[in-house]
Structure 1
Amino acid sequence: MDPHAHRDPRTGGEWRPEARAARSHGTVEPEHGATLVGPVERAAPEATARRMRPALVLPIIAALCFGCYTIWMDHTNGAKGGQAALLGLIAAVVTGVLGVTLVHFQATMLTETRALAYGALFGASMGWLYSLGGSTPSVLKSTVWGLVMFGVMFIASLYVFRTHRDREPHGLHRPRRAHTPRRPHVPHAAH
């Protein structure tokens, strides 16, 4: 064993002599030429922790709230507890899957398409909740309410997406260019 080599107290591995600059900080840093020789190499806790992105957490929380509200609406309209819980679970799963899918693919969509997708999800959800109302509304009333909520969400999301273009993951869709006049086509002279 090299007399200048030291043991890593965390893993029991050996530091090579060229790792002296890194030892002063208590870590093995490859940019200084340090390598850890030993049976176990542990990754930093930040590297092993898998965290969900906040953009994916919000649709899941919204779906859970939607499912709980569905349970409450159905239960207050006379449904038994198990039936209301099953309906709420189905509503939460369906809206959660659709919401997470929409958030996952929104970076590939045009602004108008993304606003349409958010409006469709919100309008369909609100129309369905309206159909759970106590006075047994007709299908036509639920559809009209869903279309109104679709329009509200479409306008609101389009406004947000258009005014916050600098934060979009894909930037401007159609950047404006200065108009350059076309030169007239001049036919070549015959030889």
Structure 2
Amino acid sequence: METPVHRHGATADPRSGATSRAQAATHENAPGSASERGSGSKRRGMSTTALTLPVAAAALYGLWTAFVDRTSGSSLGHAWLLGLIAAVVSGVLGLALVSVQSTLITEVRALAYGALFGTATGYLYSISHTTGPSILESVRMGVVLGAVMFVVSLYVFRTHRTREPHGEHRPRGARRAQGAHRAHPSH
């Protein structure tokens, strides 16, 4: 059975005693393992859902941008062009975030989602009025909504640790097991 400890190259598993890197490498090349199955149509470690959600969100964001721009007085062609550009940019940024999120610690990942959301909503706020809000109002709105998204993301990531791609950073049992084998440097 492949555990998160084996997947990420750790040298010891607190549940089964010491495990060497050679044993973990042999385990990864076992029949039916991910390295032997091949990548197929999916990219390394990314599910179809992980690719579909940012693309769908980008499409919705592009349509919403076109709608907001059109209702604030722009021509139809300008609104659709702006919506297309917004969809492409937000889609690329969303896919980039999804592809690197498993390498980020919880706080940085929540900050990245907050920054992406805050920037997107601040931009929508800036194009929402015919007279146009000031830059400071748009930045303030983006920062406030980005901070809200940061807090919500952090809450979700911390309360659903089993769903995180990299699992718990330091499980409680592992800390206790390490403390029993070696003395703390301050003693």
With normalisation by structure 2, the TM-score equals 0.68
Alpha-carbon distance change, 79 to 172 in structure 1, aligned in 2, over 3 angstroms: same
| 2:43 matches 1:76 | no
Q: Determine the structure 2 residue equivalent to 1:130.
A: 125
Q: 1:183 to 1:144 in 2, by over 3 A?
A: closer
Distance 2:75 2:153 in 1: 37
Task: Tell whether 2:87 aligns with 1:92.
Answer: yes
Equivalent residue in structure 1 for 2:148, among 152, 166, 190: 152
Alignment of 1:29-108 (within 5 A): 50=41, 53-108=48-103
Tell me how far apart the structure 2 counterparts of residues 66 and 155 of structure 1 sit (CA, whole Å): 22
Per chain length, whose mean CA-contact separation is higher, i.e. which structure has more relative contact order (CA < 8 Å, sep 6+)?
2
Deviations 1:29-88 (A, max 9, x none): xxxxxxxxxxxxxxxxxx9x8476111100100000000000000011110111111100
| CA positional deviation for 1:184 | 7.8
Partners of 2:80 and 2:186 in 1: how far apart?
71
Could you say if the C-alpha distance between residues 167 and 78 of structure 1 is closer, same or farther in structure 2, counting changes exceeding 3 Å?
Answer: same
Structure 2 residue aligned with 1:167: 163
CA distance in 1 between partners of 2:60 and 2:140 (Å) = 23
1:131-184, Cα deviation, whole Å (9 max, x unpaired): 011141100000000000111000000000000101112111133423566488
Which has the larger helix fraction?
2
Q: Which residue in 2 is equivalent to 1:121? A: 116
**What CA distance in whole angstroms lies between the structure 1 residues aligned with 2:121 and 2:186?**
56
5+ unaligned residues in a row in structure 1: which ranges?
Answer: 1-46, 186-191
Distance 2:116 2:186 in 1: 50
SS at match of 2:148: helix
Q: Which TM-score applies when normalising by structure 1?
A: 0.67
2:139 is aligned, of 126, 136, 143, to: 143
Equivalent residues, number: 138
The 2-side partners of 1:78 and 1:184 are apart by 67
Q: Is there any run of 5+ residues in structure 2 with no aligned partner, and where?
A: 1-37
Q: 1:111 to 1:182 in 2, by over 3 A?
A: closer
How far apart in 1 are the matches of 2:161 and 2:184?
Answer: 31
Q: 1:166 to 1:138 in 2, by over 3 A?
A: same
Equivalent in the alignment of 1:29: none
